[in-house]
Amino acid sequence: MCHTEFDSPWRKVSWRKSCWSKVERDAMVAALRNFELSDPDVGQLRCLLHGPVGAGKSSFINSVNNVFQGRSTHNALVAAASGTSFTMKYKTHYFQGRKGEKRLPFAFNDVMGLETQKNGLHPDDIINALKGHLPEGYEFNPLHPLSDKKEEYIQNPSLSDKTHCLVSIVTADTISRMNKDVIDKMKHIRAEASKLQIPQVVVMTMPDKACELVNWDVKRIYYSKAIKEKMQICSNELGVPMNCILPVKNYHEEGMMDDDMDILILNAMTQIVNFANDYIWDLQQHA
């Protein structure tokens, strides 16, 4: 539980004075709706989500969609806590623009959750996804990742098929006791993404379960000593810099939209999209 807080926030969500306001929320939404890609031919920036079972990957997809639709949505199916992965197929989740508009310029790929030992998603299939080899609708097999001998394997993926940002999803309340097998798998996947120079961030969900202060008021998230401590543990365990760890509260029990929750989600999305776009730009410079 969280009993202490800093006198001032240790991270800002915006340079504007009115950082927790509907005006700020709407400005962030507009900036992402109108985001210009470094390479328009890519179509959408492809962001690959991965992490332990139950970390909130599908809930994060739905939460992002909620923000842009302004209502509760169920783009990605979410299961109640069961200890096993609910996502069984490789699927691209696109985000609808406003009426009459095309899709938003970014998309998520959701994959089966990571589990201990030989259960859950095989790490080699995430590496296949990073490189663009997995076809849409591919059904995951924990024991046998997709082989380049299979007909469905994409032999010559385009830039659009490849991952432009790797997003690891972990929970704030369980990061300190995450299974070593899962941590090792995530570190291996991160190392492979680094070889490909793919940018990486961590989205840390469920901060309200790790800190009573945040449960009471999400705006206090960067005053919380407990949340900073959880982020430091995450940084140490996964080797991710603190400024690439982004806490968000997913929509779960809420029946109505909440501007403060939206701002944390949008803050994370802005960094993810910028990183992915920087990656595309860098590839262009070295083409």
Each as own residue / partner, the long-range contacts of residues 186-190 (CB below 8 Å, 24 or more positions apart, any chain) are 186/50, 186/51, 186/114, 186/238, 187/238, 187/239, 188/123, 189/50, 189/123, 189/126, 189/127, 189/130, 190/166, 190/238, 190/239, 190/240
Look at residue 100 in the predicted model and tell me its pLDDT. 65
Lookup: tokens for 139:
């059904």
Determine whether 138 is exposed, middle or buried from the number of CB atoms within 10 Å of its CB (0-12, 13-18, 19+). Answer: buried
Look at residue 1 in the predicted model and tell me its pLDDT. 47
Look at residue 85 in the predicted model and tell me its pLDDT. 55
- pTM for the model stands at 0.93
Of 56, 78, 95, whose CA–CA distance to 202 is shortest? 56
Determine whether 55 is exposed, middle or buried from the number of CB atoms within 10 Å of its CB (0-12, 13-18, 19+). Answer: buried
CA distances (Å), origin 10, targets 67, 183, 205, 228: 25, 27, 19, 9
Look at residue 78 in the predicted model and tell me its pLDDT. 58
Residue 80 three-state SS: coil
Of 251, 277, 269, whose CA–CA distance to 13 is shortest? 269
Residues of the chain with pLDDT under 50: 1-2, 80, 82
d(CA 176, CA 136): 34
Look at residue 82 in the predicted model and tell me its pLDDT. 47
Look at residue 264 in the predicted model and tell me its pLDDT. 97
- H or E segment at 107? strand 106-110
